[in-house]
Amino acid sequence: MNIMQPSDSFTFHNGQSPLLVSIPHDGRKLITGMSSQMTEEALTLPDTDWYVNNLYVFSQKLEASVISADYSRYVIDLNRSSDDLNLYKDQKSTGLCPLKTFINKNIYLSSCQIDANEISDRIGSYWTPYHEKIKTVLNQKKAKFGYALLWDAHSIKTSVPGLFDGKLPDLNIGTNSGASCPSEIEEAVIKIASDSTYSTVSNQRFKGGFITRHYGMPQNRIYAIQLEIAQSCYMNESLLTYNNELATQLMSTLKIMLKTFMIAAKKYNKSLS
């Protein structure tokens, strides 16, 4: 039986396939007292991965497990390491408990500080439960199937001058330059994306964040891919509204990509036996 299990920090759907979909940045909740300390602009949560939960609702029919954060990345960024190491050399990072938005605006009023104790509390309350669940689910799937799959689902504004130049391609696939997923699997997924109507790149600006890099261990038969989607593919970025027609079209491609991920991984794992 598939059961939706809410927790204090995330929502989890238990599926029966080898695949886990992680959605770390579509959460909107703020912790008690936080909103009164934030700027008016930050309260709109501009750096949210808007509607990614909506885009991947089909994955439950593929028997994927799904874990999605309930709290905003402004509370804590689940796709960063708990020691807050920079993921991308010589590129801007907003940090584990961000103080600035992607466009370098203050998240908090000038009088607000986040001290080490507060950061530690946020790690214990929100970061650790999410990552412990990922680890547990992947280990369970590997024990059951002999391998496990992780798809880390993201989206971002098509243009964010503080993070990258120009406009982002539609589909940005990341495997930490191949370290988190065997090339045979990665190439099968890339081909589906490249054959679609969407512009596609792999391992360029978005190579995969902490989740992809940390859990993707091909040597341990855990294969991980991150997909960063340009939000213009499925929504009105200025109004922050979901476009059902665009989203439905995109979901068709995403569904084939996830199916291909599962089929290619099963074939690859069988070849290792």
Q: Quick check: 18 and 149 in contact, CB under 8 A? A: yes
Mind listing the pLDDT tens digit of every residue in the chain (273 residues)? Answer: 344 454 579 999 999 999 999 999 999 999 999 999 999 999 999 999 999 999 999 999 999 999 999 999 999 999 999 996 665 555 556 689 999 999 999 999 986 778 899 999 999 999 999 999 999 999 999 999 999 999 999 999 999 987 888 899 999 999 999 999 999 999 999 999 999 999 999 999 999 999 999 999 999 999 999 999 999 999 999 999 999 999 999 999 999 999 999 999 999 999 997
Q: Dmax of the chain from CA atoms?
A: 59
The H or E element that residue 155 is part of is strand 148-156
SS3 36: helix
What is the C-alpha separation between 36 and 204, in angstroms, rounded?
38
**Which amino acid, one-letter code, is at 6?**
P
> What is the chain's Cα-based Rg?
18
What is the C-alpha separation between 66 and 53, in angstroms, rounded?
9
Tell me the whole-structure pTM to 2 decimals. Answer: 0.94
**Structural domains in the chain plus CATH codes:** 4-272 (3.40.630.40)
Nearest Cα to 202, choosing from 215, 216, 214, 192? 192
| C-alpha to C-alpha distances, 22 to 42, 134, 155, 238, nearest whole angstrom | 24, 8, 12, 26
